[in-house]
Amino acid sequence: MCGVAAIVGPKASLQNLEAILALQHHRGPDYTGYWVEPNQIALGHNRLSIIDLSAAANQPFVSSDGRYHLVFNGEIYNYLELKQKLRFDFEFKTNSDTEVLLAAFIKWGKECLAELNGMFAFIIWDKKDQSLFAARDRFGVKPLYFSQLTDSLILSSEIRPHWQIGIPKVPNSDVWHSYLTKGQYGMPDETFWKGIHQIPGGHYLTLKNGDIEIRSWYDFVTRSMALINHQENDEEAYILDLLKDSVRLRFRADVPVGFNLSGGLDSSTLLALVSDAYPDEKKIEAFTFFTGDERYDELPWVRQMLVGKPYPLNTCKLEVSDIPYLTQKIASVQDEPFGGIPTLAYAKVFEEARKKGFLVLLDGQGSDEAWAGYDYYLKNTTSLIQGTNTSPVRPEALTNSLKSMGSREIPMPFSDELLNKQFRDIFYTKIPRALRFNDRVSMAFSTELREPFLDYRLVEYVFSRSRDFKIKDGQQKWLLRKIAAKYLGDDIALAPKRPLQTPQREWLGGPLASWVEEKIEFLKANIDWFDPESLDVIWKEYKNGNQENSFYIWQWVNTAEVLQ
């Protein structure tokens, strides 16, 4: 897990490249690499050493003939298997997945993408053809942003570097409007800022002779439809094998590996799979956060699950006094609104993991979307906010100065309503947001996060199953619970879903109230999107006890932090 950067055109210079990499230093503090041909091409890399810790694996990585230069962020989990496939064509000089990735591209061109099982965002410059190729993994686990300025193309792992190079910092009003009026955001190509775009997950970008093209390389819909009428002979055994293999692949590292744990089914299943693969490995450690509020903390369940297991538990406490500092820190790497105080609590996990030398953590992200785990999958609703009967947003606090050109439609390619909701969440809402939040909070503390439940083989197969496979007798994630029960017992496997929470509502209206008021005053004085009188009225109601949800309060705080 690292940071990548590229500049193609007149802006390509060592000075500009150094400016980008300095802002991304937290993504890879182990080595900073440069390759520059002034006014033509500049490639840079922030390295977090995970596989092959030697200097031979530093980047930019150059092919043996000097034609190709590569910078790569992420991990190719099946690199050892690919290395075997490529061994007759290449003489490998390192033990890195980086070298395998470049060899795969040289051998197969863009078709190499289908061979990769991993999370990745990489950029390759072809010196002979004077062309650039950049690609992003299937679900967009690893970020890759681009912009254009004075005939130059700029790519980086985060947003802030684009402002440093000269892109004006101008809000994208369409995205902000959708976020503040509907709570919706996360389209595959957009950001909250004009002129700065994402290469969507499962897409690649090419640049040659000044022409930029972005094309899809991963057709999830076609692949899923092809699986709908296909069923493995022993489906339960097949899925269990996929789960085990996904975890096994994600334990490949030359640094200590741990995992995040909560009291939920996904996290519990991850623990069971780790325990099955590494039953006596005391070097693996578990991490969890808590706040000291018994209404929300899952520490008792976590400790119960670890009874009889060899893995030490690291408990990471989020104090209310941490919130202002952490909000500022995480906002400075997100550069877009993020998911509230639970995201800050998650950041404490990575902070502690880094201190203890655990540079890789696994978690259970992605299971709810593939296995239909959210309660709104059972209801006739389009809301993505759970656990509240009131509107999560307060558009009446806005003025007409925040305008929108109209919302973009999310495709509904399936005839089944449940599949369309799941498809939306995987590619347009839940997963894109969570992956961004989690990438930034992990990388803010120079740690790598891996998600076994997002192995594309698992997601495709489980997604394509019928409704009864996922929801049976009113029980969601039915087969996953059946598998988990073999390891965990019914008490955990059949427990209802508990959203991972913190005392956000109570803290914002209580000990953090003066801090919230500072942010509201900033909005009133500096952002003409908000009506000052409405902000005051709604905030007063909140302090007086109208606290069924705090989403809109966090929106205001987060907006002030990101825009200031």
Whether residue 143 sits in one domain with residue 117: yes
- Asked if residue 56 belongs to a domain, the reply is yes
Q: Is residue 515, in this structure, part of any structural domain at all?
A: yes
Are 273 and 133 contained in the same domain? Answer: no
pLDDT, position 265: 87
For the domain that residue 360 is a member of, what is the CATH number? 3.40.50.620
Query: If you ran DSSP here, which 8-state letter would residue 531 be given?
Result: -
- Express as a percent the part of the chain with pLDDT over 70: 96
For the stretch 410-419, pLDDT in tens is 999 999 999 9
> 101 and 196: one domain?
yes
pLDDT of residue 386: 53
What average pLDDT does the structure give for the chain?
Answer: 94
Q: Is residue 545 part of a domain?
A: yes
Residue 498 is predicted with a pLDDT of: 54
d(CA 84, CA 104): 11
Asked if residue 254 is part of any domain, the answer here is yes
CATH number at residue 178: 3.60.20.10
Instruction: From 215, 110, 196, 216, select the one nearest 155 (Cα to Cα).
Output: 196
Query: Residue 74 has what pLDDT?
Result: 98
Where a domain ends, among 441, 462, 493?
493
Q: Do the Cβ atoms of 22 and 71 come closer than 8 Å?
A: no
CB-based contact 359:442 (threshold 8 Å): no
Examine the domain organization and report whether 416 and 527 are in the same domain. no
**Per-residue pLDDT reduced to its tens digit, 470-501:** 988 888 888 888 888 877 765 555 555 555 58
pLDDT score of 382: 59
Residue at which a domain ends, from 218, 245, 263: 218
Residue 62 sits in the same domain as residue 158: yes
What is the pLDDT at residue 388? 59
Residue ranges making up the domain that contains 538: 505-563
| Closest residue by Cα to residue 330 from 342, 317, 316 | 342
Residue 242 lies in a domain: yes
> Does residue 233 register a pLDDT over 80?
yes
pLDDT in tens, 420-437: 999 999 999 999 999 999
Instruction: Evaluate whether residue 208 is within a structural domain.
Output: yes
pLDDT tens for residues 64-73? 999 999 999 9
Last residue of some domain: 493, 522, 552? 493
As for how many domains the chain has, the answer is: 3
Report residue 405's pLDDT band, with 50, 70 and 90 as the boundaries: confident
439 and 378 in one domain? Answer: yes
Question: Residue 377 contacts by C-beta under 8 Å, 6 or more apart in sequence?
Answer: 418, 421, 422, 471, 476
Within this chain, do residues 268 and 309 fall inside the same structural domain, yes or no? yes
Produce one character per residue of 171-196: b if its CB has 16 or more CB atoms within 10 Å, e if not: bbbbbbbbbbbbbbbbbbebbbbbbb
pLDDT category of residue 179 using cuts at 50, 70 and 90: very high
pLDDT single digits (tens) 325-379 = 999 999 999 999 999 999 999 999 999 999 999 999 999 999 999 999 998 998 7
What are the pLDDT digits (tens) for 269-314? 999 999 999 998 889 999 999 999 999 999 998 999 899 999 999 9
pLDDT of residue 186: 85
- Angle 513-516-522 (CA atoms, 0-180°, nearest 5)? 145
| pLDDT exceeds cutoff 80 at 552 | yes
Whether 450 and 426 map to the same domain: the answer is yes
- In this prediction, residue 496 carries a pLDDT of 53
Distance CA(440)–CA(191), nearest Å, equals 15
Determine the Cα–Cα distance for residues 553 and 557; give it in Å rounded to an integer.
6
Which pTM value belongs to this model? 0.96
Question: What local confidence, expressed as pLDDT, does residue 380 receive?
Answer: 66
Q: Name, in order, each residue with C-beta under 8 angstroms of 388's C-beta and a sequence gap of 6 or more.
A: 548, 549, 551
| 213 within some domain | yes
- pLDDT above 70: residue 137: yes
State the pLDDT at residue 495: 54
* Cα–Cα distance, 142 to 440 (Å, whole number): 10
Do 479 and 332 sit in the same domain of this protein?
Answer: yes
- Encode pLDDT of 490-532 as tens digits: 555 555 555 558 999 999 999 999 999 999 999 999 999 999 9
Residues 298 and 213 in one domain: no
- Residue 500 domain-assigned? no
CA distance 503 to 480: 29
> Are residues 160 and 45 located together in one domain of the fold?
yes
- List pLDDT tens digits, range 196-211: 999 999 999 999 999 9
Are both 552 and 420 inside the same structural domain? no
User: Phi first, then psi: what are they for 98, rounded to 5°?
Assistant: -60, -50
